[in-house]
Amino acid sequence: MERVDFVAVGCGPYNLGLMALADKTTLRGVCYEQRAEMMWHEGMLIDGMTMQTHYLQDLVTVADPTNEASFLNYLSETGRLQTFITQERNTIPRTEYNRYLRWVAESLSTVKFGHRVSDVTADEEGYVVTVESNGQTTQLRAAHVVLGTGMTPLVPDGFEQVIHTSEYMTYRDVLKDKYRVGVVGSGQSAAEVFLDLLRDATDEQRVDWITRSDHFESLEAGKLGDEIFSVDYVRYFHSLSYSSRQALLGSFERFRHGVNPETMTAIYETMYHRTAEGGPTGQQTQLLTQVEVEAITYDWLTHQLTGKHVYTGEAVERTYDLVVVATGYRPLLPSWIDRLPIVWEAEDAWRVSETYEVQMEEKLSGKLFTHTNIEHSHGPAATNLGMAVYRNAIILNEMAGETLYKVSVQKPFTTF
């Protein structure tokens, strides 16, 4: 049976970055992804939309600026470095970020697509990993496992025949042909879908944006506020009790789920220009805040949205041809997790060490590290692409038992 130092399960940006950093070390690992190719949020690759992180917060740079998998090297190798410099922007078009990920994946022989990890069992030598590909099943032994299975769309009960934003590009043309479309949600994904539909809507078409939030809120862009995305803050957050961490998570909405100010401006300008000649606001468009959507029912090719105003209790009813929902995601955990002696802090919330090791009720010979389902343990940085590089450096150091990559110890200006 083949032996490796680690197996990474799932290949999104987190584990892809792990493999890029591991490639320059003596650690021997392999990453398995069940999908046929590298694609990142393909349902939201809308032209003109940009990432919310700095281009230096790529897969490797903050841990290893000399790594060949950096975004700057991608630009150089693909002949786009000069034009990127000329545009003088710190963010990356989302479509280009996806191409960058594909470029890195193609350069790494340790990343295997079309391979599904169907089982992981622990024994006295580490883990036995079962992999299925092209109708064949193989096994290998790994000292450690790194989980990076990501998230799966979350659609509330009672929302019938709706389109989650994760599938927007699949249904985009169909949506643009409809006369009445509702967009439910208040974050970046909802804003981008609303803007994309609004820009092409005719005078006869109606596009509404509905949210439970008190108002449409911009992403927190203050430098001091952004210090919650630091190694120092992650350590502080992790040191708190579970109840304190849960209480704190609710205060980060503007940092995690706010809308990029550029997107907000584009929405406002689009609506303003459509009223420049004195016509009604944006093709009968309505922006509804403080609305708790209770159900979306489907009947005879129409969707009936029902809810109530959060503060007045007034009933809200709208009829649409199609409804797009930006209702978030939940962690995607494989079934083999249930067979491991994991310590749980609460339902669906496992106990994770500061170094991203899932805690077990009994000592195992190998360690299970995770990128998935760590928001409750490591705070808002859990889903921040830039912070994932530090996480990967820590995980690699732990697996190697030595410092392969220095993790920044520069303290932020804020004391936590």
Backbone angles phi, psi at 405, to 5 degrees: -135, 135
d(CA 10, CA 368) in angstroms, rounded, equals: 14
Reported confidence tier of residue 225, pLDDT bands at 50, 70, 90: confident
Length of the chain: 416
In the chain, DSSP finds a helix count (H) and a strand count (E) of: 12, 19
Query: pLDDT tens, 83-123?
Result: 999 999 999 999 999 999 999 999 999 999 999 999 999 99
Reported confidence tier of residue 221, pLDDT bands at 50, 70, 90: confident
Q: Which domains does the chain have, with CATH numbers?
A: 2-152+329-400 (3.50.50.60), 155-219+258-325 (3.50.50.60)
Strand partners, 30: 7
Query: pLDDT tens, 23-60?
Result: 999 999 999 999 999 999 999 999 999 998 899 999 99
Q: What is the pLDDT of residue 280?
A: 57
Query: pLDDT tens, 139-177?
Result: 999 999 999 999 999 999 999 999 999 999 999 999 999
Is residue 75 helix, strand or coil? helix
d(CA 234, CA 411) in angstroms, rounded, equals: 12
300 Cβ neighbours under 8 A, 6+ residues apart: none
d(CA 399, CA 416) in angstroms, rounded, equals: 29
Q: Which amino acid is at 364?
A: L
DSSP string, 305-329: EEEEETTT--EEEEEESEEEE---E
Burial class from Cβ neighbours inside 10 Å (0-12, 13-18, 19+) for residue 356 reads buried
Mean pLDDT (the chain, rounded): 94
Q: What is the pLDDT of residue 282?
A: 46
Instruction: Spell out where 93-219 has E strands.
Output: 111-113, 116-123, 126-133, 136-147, 151-153, 163-164, 180-184, 206-210
Q: What is the pLDDT of residue 368?
A: 99
CA distances from 180 to 6, 133, 284 (A): 51, 44, 10
Q: What is the pLDDT of residue 358?
A: 99
